[in-house]
Amino acid sequence: MYRTTTALALSMAALAPITADANPVTIDVTIAQYQGPAVYLAMYLTDKSGAYQSTVWVAGGSTRYWKHLRTWFDATGGQGADGVTGASVGAGRTLTITPDISAAMIDAGYVLHIDAAAENIGESPNEIQVPLTTAGAGQPIAGNGFITSFQYGL
């Protein structure tokens, strides 16, 4: 028991510097029911001037297909982004992620964008476009292409 507590305390101490300025934001995205391949999603942030800041998450690992996430792909200069990718999301499924978004970005004019696209079906650029605010947290929004429900929690 004694040992476990020490180990826990040590690991908590190691995590401390990260938790200080990074907020674990929870994001849930639910995809519509349709027949066909899974959806690729790109979530990224723009600042109050509308300039691209960073990529939050990319669902779908085949880089060949990333060009169909059009506004994101163009914003990254045709590069995409590494290190923040997971699996594409099947029809009717919900994707839940907890990316680290700095506390300084909340209520500071930062906007979260989601591009969605699925092979042979179509592209839905900027399907979600929502300012990150304390008031907006926990408010579900619907898209109009693939996303039936989106919300973030702080």
Q: Is 140 in the site for another protein (CB under 8 A)?
A: no
Total residues binding another protein (CB under 8 A): 21
Angle at 44 between CA 68 and CA 46, to 5 degrees: 120
Stretch near another protein under the rule CB under 8 A, chosen from 4-12, 34-42, 101-109, 133-141: 34-42
Q: Is 146 in the site for another protein (CB under 8 A)?
A: yes
- Distance of closest approach, residue 45 Cβ to another protein, in angstroms: 24
Question: Distances from the Cα of 115 to the Cαs of 1, 9, 26, in angstroms?
Answer: 48, 40, 18
Per the listing, tokens 């699996």 go with 87
Q: Is 88 in the site for another protein (CB under 8 A)?
A: yes
Here the tokens at position 143 are 């898209």
Quick one: 89 or 101, whose CB is closer to another protein?
89
Stretch near another protein under the rule CB under 8 A, chosen from 31-39, 46-54, 95-103, 132-140: 31-39
| Proportion of the chain in helix, strand, coil states, percent, rounded to 5 | 25, 40, 40
Quick one: 31 or 106, whose CB is closer to another protein?
31
Please say whether the beta carbons of 126 and 41 come within 8 A.
Answer: no
Quick one: 3 or 64, whose CB is closer to another protein?
64
Among candidates 28, 128, 27, 111, which has minimal Cα distance to 69?
128
Q: Is 144 in the site for another protein (CB under 8 A)?
A: yes
Q: Is 30 in the site for another protein (CB under 8 A)?
A: no
Question: Distances from the Cα of 80 to the Cαs of 14, 43, 55, 154, in angstroms?
Answer: 31, 11, 8, 26
Chain residues in the site for another protein (CB under 8 A): 32, 34-36, 61-64, 67, 87-88, 118, 120-122, 124, 142, 144-146, 148
